[in-house]
Chain A
Amino acid sequence: MATSPTPTNIREDALADVPGAAPASGAPIRQSNLWKDAWRRYIRNKGAVVAGAIFLLVVLYCVIWPFVSPYTGNEVDFTVAKQGPSLSHPLGTDKFGRDLFTRTAEGGRVSILIGFGATLAILLFGVVYGSISGFIGGRVDNGLMRFLDALYGLPYLPFAIITLAIIGRTDMWTMMIALSIASWFTTARIVRGQVLTLKENDYVRAAKAVGARWHRILVRHILPNTLGVLIIAIFLELPAVILGEAFLSFIGLGISPPDASWGAMAQEGRTTYRTHPIEIVVPSVAIASLVLCANFIADGLRDALDPRTRET
C-alpha cells in the first residue's frame, strides 16, 4: 500500500516549501541538456522534420493566405460555380463559385484554432485531474476515478451533442467547449496511469525513502518524466479533436455559415462527390495532412523527448 499524505500534511508541506529556498543541485543544467538533446535527436529524424515543416507551412498558409488572396472565401457568384483547378483558382471553385484555395485557408484557420484551443483545454483538465488522482492515491484516487467513471458514462460524441444543444448555437468557441468537455477523461486516465507507474519506480521510492516532500517528488521526478508524454499528447490529441470537429460537422452540427471548418467543407463536399469530387477531396486531404503531420511530429517528439528512450 502506497503511503498517501493526509490533507493536513499536504498543506504543511506546501507551506514549508518556499520557492527558491533550496535549489536542487544541478537541476537547471540537466533540464537544458535534456531539451538540447531532444532537439538534436528530433532534427535527426527526417520524417518528423518534414512533417514539422509541412505542418508549419499549412498553418502559415491558413494564417497568411486570406490576407493576400484576391478573393474572399464567402463571395457568391454562381457564374463561376464548380470550376476545376485553373490559374486563377488553383483548386477550382465550389458550388457557390467561391475560390476553394482561399476558402480552404479560411476553413483551416477555424479548424486549427478549434483544434489547438480544445487540445489545450483537454490537457489542462486531464493533467491536473490525472496527476492529483494518481499521485495522492488511496481514497482520493478512488473517489476521483469513480467520478471519472461516471463521466466516462457520457461518451464523447453524445456528450458533445448534448453540450452543443444546451448552448444552443455552434461557433468556434462552443465547438471548443463541446469538444474538450467530453474528451479529457482519457488524458486524465493516461496521466494517472503514468504517474501511478512512475510512483513505483525505484528513484521515486528512493526519494521517498530519504524523506523528500511529495510536491518535490511530483515536480522534480514525476512531472518531468510525464512532460515528454504530454508534449506528445498535444500532437496526439490534436488530430483527435480535428477529426471530432469533422464528425460533428458531418452530422450537421458544424459552425455557422458562411464560415466553415474543414469538417463542414467536407460535409458539404460529400453531397457533390459524384460530380465535383474536389470539394470533398480538398478539405479531407487538408484534415488528413494535418493529422498525419501531427502524428509524425508526435512520433519524432516521442523518440526525442521520452526520457526512458534517451539512453539508447
Chain B
Amino acid sequence: MLKFIVRRIFWTIPVLLVVIFLTFTMMRQIGGNPFRHSERAVPEAVQRNLERKFHVDKPWYTQYAYYVKGVATLDLGPSLVLRGQTVNDIVKEHFPKSIELGVYAFLFALVVGVPLGMIAALKHNTSVDYGAMFFSNVFHAVPSFLVATLLIYYIALKGGALPTSGWSTWEHKIMPSIALGFAPMALFARLVRGTMLETLQQDYVRTARAKGLRYRRVVGLHVLRNSLIPVVTAAGPLLGYIITGSFVIELIFNIPGIGQYYVTAVNARDYSVVMGLTVLLSVIVIVANLVVDILYGILDPRTRDARA
C-alpha cells in the first residue's frame, strides 16, 4: 500500500508538466490580445512595452521554461490584466472562498444525500423509497441557477431572512452552499440507493444473512461499505467539479471565488492567471483522486492487489 502511494505521488510530477503544457498550448491557440481591455486600440509603442514587460515577446519554449521554473518555486507570475497583482495574490485572496463554498456544498450533499439513499434502499419499493427518489430526481433535474434564483427570491427578497449576495458572514454562506450542493446531494442519494440495492442481492450478503448475522450488522458491515464505493469514486471528480463548477453560483451570489474569476481571466486572455488557476486546480483534483484510490483500496480489497 505504501509503495503504491509513494508511486502515485511520484507520478504527479509528469502529470503536472502535461497539464501545464496542455493549458499553455491551448491558451496560445486562442486569438485575442491580453493587453487590450476595451474597444480602444492599443498604440504600437504601448503594446511593445507591455509585451516586453511580461516576456510575451519571447519564443514559446522560453516562456514555457520560465513558467515551469515559476511553478517549481511556487511563483505563478504576475497577472497580465490586473496590474500590480500576482497570480499568487489572486489565489490567496479568492481560492479559500471557493474551497469553503465547495466544502460546504459537498458536506450538505453528503450529509443529506447518503442517508436519503440508504433509507430509500432499505425501504425498497415503499412509499418512502418512491418519495425519496422522486425528490432526489427532481433536485437532480433542476438547474442550479433556478434553485439559486428561487432561494434568493423567496428567502432573501420576500422573506428578508438572508442577504441576497456576498460572502462575509455565515448568513451569506447558507444559500449558495445549498444551491450548489443540491444536484450532488441528489446524485449521492441515487448512487447509494442503486449500489445498496445491488449489494443487498449479492451472494455474500445473502450468505451472511443466511448464516444468521443480524440484519443491522449485515447492512453496517458489508452493504454500506460496498455501497460507498461508487460514492467514493464519484466524490473525487465531484469535489473538483463542485469547487470549479461553482461559476454559476458564484456569479449569482456574487461570491469573490475563483470560479467567477476563471471565466473573466479566460475572456481577458490573462494567460498567467488561467494557467496558475488550472495548475492549482489540477493539484487539488490529483490529490483528491489519490485519496479516492486509497479509499477504494481500503473499501474494496479485491482491487488492491491488482493495482499495487
Contacts and interface: CB of A to CB of B under 8 A. Distances in A.
- Any A–B CB pair closer than 8 Å: yes
Contact of B30 (A165, A250, A280): A165
A159 to B, nearest CB: 9
B143 A157 contact: no
A249 B251 CA distance: 13
B143 A247 contact: yes
Interface in B128-143: 130, 133, 137-138, 140-143
Interface stretch (A11-19, A29-37, A147-155, A218-226): A147-155
Interface stretch (B41-49, B75-83, B163-171, B300-308): B300-308
A291 B141 contact: yes
Interface of A is mostly: helix
Interface stretch (A92-100, A112-120, A172-180, A303-311): A303-311
A270 interface: yes
B198 A153 contact: no
B254 interface: no
Say what secondary structure dominates the interface of chain B: helix
B121 to A, nearest CB: 12
Interface residues of A, number: 56
A287 B282 contact: no
Q: Which of B202, B244, B283 has the most CB of A within 10 A?
A: B244
Contacts of B23: 154, 162
A162 B274 CA distance: 10
Contact of B245 (A155, A239, A289): A155
Interface in A131-167: 137, 146-147, 149-150, 152-158, 161-163, 165-166
B247 interface: yes
Interface of B: 11-12, 14-16, 18-19, 22-23, 26-27, 29-31, 130, 133, 137-138, 140-146, 149, 153, 183, 190, 194, 197-198, 201-202, 229-230, 233-234, 237, 240-241, 243-245, 247-248, 251, 262-263, 266-267, 274, 278-279, 281-283, 285-286, 289, 300, 302-303, 305-306, 308
Interface of A: 1-2, 47, 137, 146-147, 149-150, 152-158, 161-163, 165-166, 168, 185-186, 189-190, 193, 196-197, 199-200, 239, 243, 246-247, 250-251, 263, 266, 270, 273, 280, 284, 287-289, 291-292, 295-296, 299, 302, 306, 308-309, 311-312
